[in-house]
Amino acid sequence: MPNIDVCLAETDLAYFVIDKFCTFQNIIQRTARKGPQLAQQARTCYQGAYGEKCLNSVTLLGRAGSVAQKRGTPDSPVVIFSLATNSYHKNAEGDVTQHVQWHRISVFRPSLRETVFSNLAKGQRVLVRGSISYYTVQDNYNNTSTATSIIADDVIFLSRTREGSYQASDETADDDLK
């Protein structure tokens, strides 16, 4: 991936300083004043250096389908639990039907992982924020299948914990980000 400073210098854009807080829109606006060709060079250079912005964000509100389980290795532990979300639909006859979807939640962040493992109970109402991850799994017979998991960035407990006390706290610990 090219360095934006080097890339801009190579395209005659070295007349202004680019720092890490300079946005794509800012670069295009400043270079457009010097001419459309220069703006196009900046656009191509910036997108090549940083790529386009993307968003992978999931927010789920549901009930835990199981207690949390520790998996993985001592070097790379993970806590996994299932989460059920539901929706209601009216069919052609006017009857209301419930549709349940199950989600696999994976928690890697150290303090969040321990909090979820020690406090999550089956049936507990939980809000999970994170990103979606797709991966392939190979079984003992060399059959491959695609799996989906939600990688939790934070978990908010909205109902009673195992000990019976209410907990409604956001468990995004700052020490995980260090």
pLDDT by residue, tens only, the chain of 178 residues: 344 444 444 444 443 444 444 555 565 566 666 666 665 666 666 555 556 667 889 999 999 999 999 998 888 899 999 999 999 988 889 899 999 999 999 999 999 999 999 999 999 999 999 999 998 888 899 999 999 999 999 999 998 655 554 444 444 444 444 3
Inter-residue contact 150 to 105 (CB < 8 Å): yes
Inter-residue contact 119 to 111 (CB < 8 Å): no
Q: Is the pTM of this model over 0.75?
A: no
Q: Which domain holds residue 25?
A: 4-50
Domain shared by 38 and 122, yes or no: no
CATH at 114: 2.40.50.140
Domain shared by 117 and 164, yes or no: yes
Q: What is the pLDDT of residue 92?
A: 87
Inter-residue contact 84 to 63 (CB < 8 Å): yes
Residue at token pair 């962040």: 109
Domain shared by 127 and 39, yes or no: no
CA gap 78, 84 in Å, rounded: 20
Domain shared by 33 and 79, yes or no: no
Domain shared by 168 and 110, yes or no: yes
Domain shared by 82 and 20, yes or no: no
Domain shared by 62 and 26, yes or no: no
Of 15, 31, 50, the residue at which a domain comes to its end is: 50
Domain shared by 24 and 91, yes or no: no
Q: What is the pLDDT of residue 22?
A: 54
Question: Which CB contacts under 8 angstroms, 24+ apart, belong to 24-33?
Answer: 24/50
Number of domains into which the chain is organized: 2
Inter-residue contact 59 to 128 (CB < 8 Å): yes
Q: What is the pLDDT of residue 120?
A: 93
